[in-house]
Amino acid sequence: MKKITFIGAGSFDFTRELVRDLFTFPAFRDARICLMDIDEQRLVFSRSACEKIKRAGGYPAVIEATTDRRQALEGADGVIITILSAGPEIFRTDIEIPFRFGVDLCVGDTRGPAGIFRFLRTAPVLLEICRDIEKYCPDAYVLNYTNPMALNCRYLQEMTNLKITGLCHSVQHTAKMLADWINTPMDRVSYLCAGINHQAFYLKYEVDGRDAYPLIREAAACSRIYNEEQVRNELFLHLGYYPTESSGHNSEYYPWFRKRKDLLETYCTHSTGWNPGAHAYILNEYFRRTNEWKKDIQDWLSKDQVDLKRGQEYAACIFNALFGDQEPFSFNGNVRNEHYISNLPEGCCVEVPVTVDETGFHVQTVGNMPDHLAMLIHTAASSEELAVRGCIRGDRRLVYYAVLGDPLTGAVLSMEEIRQMVDEMFSANEIYLPQFAGMIE
C-alpha cells in the first residue's frame, strides 16, 4: 500500500481533484491517502470529499486526516504541498501598499513586490515542512503547488536535498487553449516550452510535426480570440513566441501594460479582471472566495454525481511513473538551472521539460533561449535570486534590490519611492518576518 500525503489538504479543490486523479491509476486504488492541515474544519471537509470519491469509485483506499504533521509524513512515498501561509488580511497589504504608491497589480502572487513578500512569509513555513520530510520520509518525492512557485522551489532546492519539483498547470492549459484556437486535437500537438514559472514560452508548437505558429498567428488576428487573451496575444505578436500563464498574470510581469490608465484600458479590459482600480477587484474576489468557501464546498458535497475522470493536473501521473504502475511521463517542472537553459542564471529556478520514470527525474537540456526572450526572463530570474538570498540572510537590502529590479515597479516608481514602499511592506509583515530587522539605510 503506497502512502501519499497532502500537506495543506484544506485546499479543497486541489485535494479532491488530485485524489480523484490518483485513483484513476490501478496502483493507487488501494493507496493510503493522508490529509494534513492546521485548519480542522477545512480538513473535515476535504476528508468528506475524498471519502465521497472513494465510495463513488468503489476504491479500497484508506483515507486518513490529521493535524499532526509527523503522523502524516511518517513513511510517505509521495508528498504534495498546497499551503497558504498567513491569512487574507496580510495579503491585502501585498496589494494595497503597492497600489498606494502607484503599482497597480492584477494577481500579486508570483513576483514583483507582492509576490516577493508572499514568498518571504511562506519560505520559513515550507522549510519547516521540508525539515520534517527529511526526518520522517527522506526518500519521498515532493511536489510543490504553493505560490510563488519559482521563488519557493528555488529556496527549497537551495536549503534541502529533497527530491522536489514544483508544478504549475499553465503550460498544459495554454497548450490546450492554443490547440482549441486552431481546431486541433491535443494528440496531434507536440511542443517545447521553457523559461521560468509563469514566464515560459513555447519555443516550438507543432501539429503532426509541422510548425503551427502560422495557424496560431492567424487565429490571434481574429478580434474574438485576441480579446480572450489581450496581453498574451500582444506579447506573442511582438515577441514571436507564445507565453504561458494568463494575461492577468503576464500584465504585471512587464513594464508595458499596467503603468498608465490608458494602457490598462487598452490591454487589460478583457482577460485580466481589470476594472478602475484593479487592486479592488483582486481583493473583492479574494475575500469573496474566503467568505463563501464553506458554501461552495457544501454545494459540491451535496451533489449526487461525482466526476471520476482524470483532470489536467500532473501530480498523479508523476507519482504513477515514480512508484505506481511506473509508466514514464513527461511534463514541465520547476528545477534548479544546471546548464539546462544556458543563457539564464546558473542555479536559478527554471521551468523546463522533465521526464520521470521509476529511476527519478530526468531534466531535458534546452540550450539557449532566443536572446530577446532571455533578456526579459533574465531580469525576473535575477530579481528572484536576490529575493532568495535576502530571505536566507535576513537582509532587507537584498529584498529591496529584488523589488527594484521588477519591471512594472521600476516603470512607475523612483528608487526612493521603491525604498519607502519596501520599508512599509516590511512593517506590515513584521510579525511574519522576525529575521529582518531595522529599516533600509
What residues act catalytically?
A: 169
CB 152 within 8 A of CB 166: yes
- Classify residue 414 as exposed, middle or buried by CB count within 10 Å of its CB (0-12, 13-18, 19+): exposed
Query: Which amino acid, one-letter code, is at 62?
Result: V
Query: Which amino acid, one-letter code, is at 438?
Result: G
Angstrom CA distances, 211 to 189, 217, 293, 320, 405, stand at 10, 11, 43, 32, 35
Residues 146, 324: Cα–Cα separation, whole Å: 24
Grid look-up 498546497 returns 82
Three cell numbers at 42?
477545512
CB 114 within 8 A of CB 282: no
Strand partners, 80: 6, 143
